[in-house]
Amino acid sequence: MSVRSWPTRPLGELLRHVQDPVSVQPNQQYPNFGIYSFGRGVFAKPPINGSTSSATTLYRAKAGQFVYSRLFAFEGAYGLVPDGLDGCYVSNEFPLLEAQSERLRLRFLEWYFRLPTTWVDVATNATGMGSRRQRIHPEGVFSHEIPLPEPVEQDRIVAKLDAAAALIAEAQGLCREIDETANLLIVGLAHRADLAEADKLTAGWTRAKLADIAENVSEPIKVLPNREYPNLGIYSFGRGLFHKPPISGLETSATTLFRVRAGQFIYSRLFAFEGACGLVTEEFDGVYVSNEYPTFSVKPGALPEFLYAYFMSSHVWHSLAAESKGLGVRRQRVQPAALMNHELLVPPMSVQAQIREIFTRRPFFDRQRAEMQTEIKATMPAILDRAFKGEL
């Protein structure tokens, strides 16, 4: 059926604004929810404390009601109240709407409000000052005209969109699994937790301290006020390095920075306890860091890829935390001396070479996975567009 044959109806003929007000009591907690922008639906929030809330009245929501944020409707903060959030409470900033006509399926409406064009059209009725203050009142929603096929056609479209969304979620999950599996393989080769220590030693593994296979190195440079210094950061949980904005010699309080070199192992003293470590690749060669980021060069008999793979393990992070200094979990600095005293089992070079080979191939597979994720991300908007053009 072509969308041209769908009649349009003002939402005011199909929806009504409903309110189930309750007076806020200081000795009560009120389950609460929020709404993601960009048509991503409803999520649970911490409960509202009656003794600290400025609201004197809240409104009880029911599963299946259509809800939106008056303040963020312009960027797609619409959704349906799910069964799990039935009976939650919201302020009057979240109008609750119900169908007053059997001609409208609310699941169809939910999908329709995932279209960015819908948000734009409804936002033309917004009031307020500035793009972040465009409150949209129920009257603004009610005046919007929706293309409305017969209920049986609405049900068919919803079923198609639900099925497509499930397949896309499955594909996204597979992409995550690919990444996680690659990490598990790398860490598994570096640790071989499936083997007893005696078996490892028989197979050529050797017990050593980190100081036996790596040395703490630094290449200090004096900071000049008329220069900018390329900078890097380190993701937590063994996820490697990323580019940061350059350090301005004029603005930084540091008088000395340290140049890093490709092939070095690097970590964050402050966040080592949560796996903030990485391998300096050619992409980051010559970048500058502060003394919060110690660097290490490996000695003969070890490869830097093995060192990185070894420290990707959460078990190792926890053992490093025991060596930490400082106050509080966010101040547990791990000093290079503690790292150098850390004992480990070093696999033979043949195993380390396998780890290097995986790291060498990893960028290619990461690019392919990123391209796949981009295509997957673009699939649902394309399907949604076709659905509301009557082409699904």
Given a contact cutoff of 8 angstroms between Cβ atoms, the answer to whether 191 and 347 are in contact is no
- Cα dihedral 115→117→122→123 (10° resolution): 110
The residue length of the chain stands at: 392
Instruction: Say how far apart CA 85 and CA 79 lie, in whole Å.
Output: 12
Q: How many CA atoms lie within 13 A of 83 on its CB side?
A: 0
Q: What angle do CA 165, 166, 170 make, to 5 degrees?
A: 115
Instruction: Say how far apart CA 226 and CA 248 lie, in whole Å.
Output: 8
Amino acid at 286: G
Given a contact cutoff of 8 angstroms between Cβ atoms, the answer to whether 96 and 18 are in contact is yes
User: Residue 315 belongs to what H/E stretch?
Assistant: helix 314-321
Q: How far is C-alpha 241 from the chain's CA centre?
A: 17
Structural tokens at position 169: 């979620």
Strand residues in 12-77 grouped as ranges (E)? 15-18, 21-23, 29-35, 42-49, 57-60, 66-68
Residue with tokens 């306890």: 273
Cα-flanking dihedrals φ and ψ of residue 335, to 5°? -80, 150
User: Residue 120 belongs to what H/E stretch?
Assistant: helix 116-123
Q: What angle do CA 144, 148, 154 make, to 5 degrees?
A: 130
Q: What angle do CA 325, 330, 334 make, to 5 degrees?
A: 35
CATH of domain 206-346: 3.90.220.20
Structural tokens at position 238: 């063994």
Domain with CATH 3.90.220.20 in the chain: 3-148, 206-346
Per-residue tens of pLDDT for the chain, all 392 residues:
556 689 999 999 999 999 999 999 999 999 999 999 999 999 999 999 999 999 999 999 999 999 999 999 999 999 999 999 999 999 999 999 999 989 999 999 999 999 999 998 898 766 544 445 578 999 999 999 999 999 999 999 999 999 999 999 999 998 888 888 888 999 999 999 999 999 999 999 999 999 999 999 999 999 999 999 999 999 999 889 999 999 999 999 999 999 999 999 999 999 988 899 999 999 999 999 999 999 999 999 999 999 999 999 988 988 877 766 544 445 568 889 989 999 999 999 999 999 999 999 888 888 888 888 889 889 999 999 999 988 88
CB atoms within 10 A of CB 158: 18
Structural tokens at position 236: 């937590």
pTM: predicted TM-score of the whole model, two decimal places:
0.71
User: Is the CATH code 3.90.220.20 the one for domain 3-148?
Assistant: yes
